[in-house]
Structure 1
């Protein structure tokens, strides 16, 4: 059985607006079935900095925009403190649909990490975004995003905050802001995350 892929749904040579419109109809893997909608990337088409997360969360799935939930608000705060304004950044996710399991009680939907096959199936969208934006620097938030960009063997725990090279762009990896929210010592985790973003700012200035 052939591996599933978004590739047939990605219009070749399309600009970001056309890619976003086409992504609404993507059935490249089964995650589109339970999700409310596709959550495509947003930001300036000529952004110098492109940030990649794992996947949209519950709030993003309902609103159709990336990084607008609690983790997104923490990211906005850290970007501002690192002198990296969100308005100048293109933000997206490695996977464009929310993967979740229903809570045992109530209507809550609990995040579930995408499988490697689901990440690979969605890569054509990320590659198309990178090809259109052509950022100077890419920041990967968390293991799923880092492995999507730098390969399945990459370990954020060993390499976070360090400058990497991937194809035509430079990459820095760090943790996902959601992990900061879950950290036992949130202040310490936030300080380390902010330090990584300040490293990003320093490299973007060179």
Structure 2
């Protein structure tokens, strides 16, 4: 059995294009009922680096691409400072539909639950199967749980490269949205520098 594939299931897609076409009709959980669209991964089909976030946000849900909102801007900036070319990375999420709570006209992010993460792992597993990267970066707790299980703790394990029997090595770090939530500017800048330090390890790991 392929190491990326859930037991009892056989992938049909032989390319990311085919996998994305399948994903557009996903009904594996109920999140599709309210989201605008499936937000599939984006980037080179043979990328050495795969960045995995939590789920699309409001802007990503509308645009149909991952990490195009404020967190994506922070990610771009920090990757550049870490001397990692984002254009050479494949960027995706553990969960492919936007989960939210409606508050008036606003749609507020709601954390995906374990069942939704598990249901969506089919797509992430097959993205990794088809790309076969050198290194996977888990951006935040949801991504880390999807890739490595619930025992991983981001603040305890951040900066570590964890070997897995199922995936290429996984570098654990924060999600860039965490930096945006820090109100104190000094603390936010310190956290951003720490994030850049984590990302700086990617280059050597991707060779």
Q: Same fold (TM over 0.5)?
A: yes
Query: In 2, distance between residues paired with 1:34 and 1:7?
Result: 29
Query: In 2, distance between residues paired with 1:165 and 1:175?
Result: 18
User: 2:182 maps to which residue?
Assistant: 183
Q: Which runs of 5+ in 1 are unaligned?
A: 1-5
Secondary structure of 1:20's partner? helix
User: 1:50 maps to which residue?
Assistant: 50
Deviations 1:23-75 (A, max 9, x none): 11101000000000000001001100000000000000000000101001110
User: Shift of residue 189 of structure 1?
Assistant: 1.1
Query: In 1, distance between residues paired with 2:198 and 2:181?
Result: 18
Q: How does 1:12-161 map to 2 (within 5 A)?
A: 12-103=12-103, 105=104, 107-161=105-159
Query: In 1, distance between residues paired with 2:115 and 2:7?
Result: 14
Alpha-carbon spacing, 1:49–1:95, altered in 2? closer, same or farther (3 Å):
same
Query: In 1, distance between residues paired with 2:10 and 2:29?
Result: 13
User: Shift of residue 178 of structure 1?
Assistant: 0.3
User: Shift of residue 166 of structure 1?
Assistant: 1.4
Query: In 2, distance between residues paired with 1:57 and 1:10?
Result: 30
* TM-score, scaled relative to structure 1: 0.91
Query: In 2, distance between residues paired with 1:55 and 1:86?
Result: 18
* TM-score, scaled relative to structure 2: 0.91
Secondary structure of 2:196's partner? helix
Alpha-carbon spacing, 1:64–1:45, altered in 2? closer, same or farther (3 Å):
same
Residue range with higher mean Cα deviation, 52-61 or 192-201: 192-201
User: Shift of residue 10 of structure 1?
Assistant: 8.0
User: 1:169 maps to which residue?
Assistant: 168
Q: In 2, are the aligned partners of 1:94 and 1:123 still within 8 Å (CA)?
A: yes
User: Shift of residue 183 of structure 1?
Assistant: 1.4
CA RMSD of aligned residues (A): 1.8
Q: In 1, are the aligned partners of 2:182 and 2:188 still within 8 Å (CA)?
A: yes
Query: In 2, distance between residues paired with 1:89 and 1:136?
Result: 11
User: Shift of residue 157 of structure 1?
Assistant: 1.3
Q: Which runs of 5+ in 2 are unaligned?
A: 1-5
Alpha-carbon spacing, 1:122–1:32, altered in 2? closer, same or farther (3 Å):
same
